[in-house]
Amino acid sequence: MEYVKIFDTTLRDGEQAAGASMNIEEKLRIALQLEKLGVDIIEAGFPAASEGDFEAVKNIAKNIVKSEVAGLARATEDDITKAWEAVKYANKPRIHTFLATSDIHLKYKLKIDRAEALKRAVWAVKFAKKFTDNVEFSAEDACRTNIDFLCEVVEAVISAGATTVNIPDTVGYITPQEFYEIIKTLKNKVKNINKAVISVHCHNDLGLAVANSLSAILAGARQVECTINGIGERAGNAAMEEIVMSLKTRKDFFNFNTKINTKHIYRTSKLVSQITGMIVQPNKAIVGANAFAHESGIHQDGVLKERLTYEIMTPESVGIPQSLLVLGKLSGRHAFKKRVEEMGYELTEEQLNKAFKRFKELCDQKKHLYDEDIDAIISQEILNLPEKFKFVFLNVVSGNRTTPCATVEIEEDGKIIKEATFGNGPVDAVFNAIKRITKTKSKLLSFVISAITTGTDAQGEVTVKLEQGGKQVLGKGVDPDVLVASAKAYINALNKLELKKDLIKVNREDLP
């Protein structure tokens, strides 16, 4: 099985995405995660672009141990010198220099002819070789370059000392079959092509970046340049996670390997999204929120019986804990039963059938159903078990110069009970008041706040996990006020603990 190098340019080309700029500390955090992920080469930035970029590349070069660290440079003395000054601290430094070769770029951007372009490309590689043997040359806009001239340039820069030649689809114009033919032509016509690694760098303007990259690998490319989440200039770059998982999942077809530790893919994706502010779309392959989510009843039933029916890879293989069965109008009885059991309910077949029918009716009324909805169906409509505790009122006083105090009113078995207590923070004060009212002996295991929607007026969803007598329950609460949502979640969990007791009694009464 042959080996394909992964050249990650998230910190260089990825940062060129509108609004995705990063500071020095953020770049280092991502670089360290990329090294943990196992990428072969980290393109840390464009040192000549700014003093900040220079310092970021230098800082990364000093801290990365295993991966190569590359700095981008135009085919000029100043750029190449600057790039070397930044990457020279790395254990494995690389200078990546580039020059446009298409007639469009030569005429309108550089205003030079092919002969001059060839001369500059060769000079740039020879100059970079004075600093390091690890030199990569990119023929910018290669896919719109005359193929004979492209072959001439590639052969010349390899003779000048380039150890990697990059063939970029700079504007996302090429198609997979055309790209395959370009790489094959280079393999067949460039006499010294075996002295360098062929690399490809594909943009996603037509949504073909990953397909083009894979096609190039089949044709002979052994390095792919890509970014985490596919971020980058305009429509972005080839997504690293999609290329790597394609090679891994379809080894039977590609027969190629990488050094990527795929279990770090999801964590890396989340880090890049968090730092850049570029949100990953839910239907994004591999790392999107829906990548391993199933709502169709047929799909859910299949996955519960055997994952391979509808999952070609496991969520665990990319660092996602487990598949997600999304309950909605397309969900089946099998998935509904599994969720009910996970929530701690033990229903008879008749009770389950009634609950599922009511669930389907509710699905036609609400777009999203939460565990609270299922709780309400089972406890109030199926088992007719009243909630022991009902939230009534909450008032909280808090600030950086006052001790947080919460006043809570709860209805318990038809009686309103009110308590006011202090706490280390506003949530702690709320929970202390609820504990005093309910006299619960449960232990709080976890407390999580998340936003259901965006904006400052977003609905807040709070999830708490309680444990008592060896039994654990999850409680959820939703409200624009996160403190109210916290109170609702805590009370919801306490009601579940009570329901577990009553549920055992009800099921025992059903026994013959």
User: Could you read off the pLDDT of 265-294 as tens digits, one per residue?
Assistant: 988 998 998 888 888 887 888 888 666 655
297 located within any domain: yes
120 with 45, same domain: the answer is: yes
Q: What is the pLDDT of residues 324-364, one digit of tens each?
A: 555 666 677 777 787 777 666 778 888 888 888 887 877 77
Q: What is the mean pLDDT of residues 194-207?
A: 97
238 with 309, same domain: the answer is: no
Q: State percent of the chain over pLDDT 70.
A: 84
Is residue 164 within a helix (H) or strand (E), and if so which, with residue range?
Answer: strand 164-169
221 with 127, same domain: the answer is: yes
Q: List all residues 6 or more positions away from 497 whose beta carbon is below 8 Å from its beta carbon.
A: 440, 442, 466, 468, 471, 473
Angle between helices 24-37 and 51-63 (to 10 degrees): 40
Q: What is the mean pLDDT of residues 145-152?
A: 98
Predicted confidence band at 369 (pLDDT cuts at 50, 70, 90)? low
Strands 324-325 and 135-140, sheet pairing = unpaired
336 located within any domain: yes
366 with 497, same domain: the answer is: no
Whether residue 119 is predicted with pLDDT greater than 70 in this model: the reply is yes
27-36, 206-215, 318-327, 341-350, range with the lowest pLDDT: 318-327
Residue 21 is predicted with a pLDDT of 79
140 with 76, same domain: the answer is: yes
Domain-terminating residue out of 348, 382, 416: 382
Residue 510 is predicted with a pLDDT of 44
Q: What is the pLDDT of residues 180-193, one digit of tens each?
A: 999 999 999 999 99
pTM higher than 0.85? no
Domain that holds residue 505: 389-510
253 with 342, same domain: the answer is: no
82 located within any domain: yes
Residue 297 is predicted with a pLDDT of 53
449 located within any domain: yes
Tally the domains of the chain: 3
Whether residue 483 is predicted with pLDDT greater than 80 in this model: the reply is yes
Residue 505 is predicted with a pLDDT of 46
Whether residue 511 is predicted with pLDDT greater than 50 in this model: the reply is no
371 with 393, same domain: the answer is: no
Q: What is the mean pLDDT of residues 135-151?
A: 98
Residue 498 is predicted with a pLDDT of 80
Whether residue 376 is predicted with pLDDT greater than 80 in this model: the reply is no
Residue 405 is predicted with a pLDDT of 95
How high is the mean pLDDT of the chain? 87
Q: In this structure, what CATH number is given to the domain that contains residue 431?
A: 3.30.160.270
416 with 300, same domain: the answer is: no
285 located within any domain: no
283 located within any domain: no
More confident of the two residues 475 and 296: 475
Q: In this structure, what CATH number is given to the domain that contains residue 66?
A: 3.20.20.70
Beta bridge partner(s), residue 418: 409
110 located within any domain: yes
411 located within any domain: yes
Residue 218, number of CB atoms within 10 A of its CB: 16
271 with 342, same domain: the answer is: no
356 with 230, same domain: the answer is: no
Residue 512 is predicted with a pLDDT of 39
Domain-terminating residue out of 359, 382, 405: 382
326 with 395, same domain: the answer is: no
157 with 39, same domain: the answer is: yes
Q: What is the pLDDT of residues 67-115, one digit of tens each?
A: 999 999 999 999 999 999 999 999 999 999 999 999 999 999 999 999 9
Q: What is the DSSP string of 369-427?
A: --HHHHHHIIIIIIS-PPPSEEEEEEEEEEETTEEEEEEEEEEETTEEEEEEEE-SSHH
Q: List all residues 6 or more positions away from 306 whose beta carbon is below 8 Å from its beta carbon.
A: none
- Best CA proximity match to 67, nearest among 2, 6, 138: 6
Domain-terminating residue out of 251, 276, 301: 276
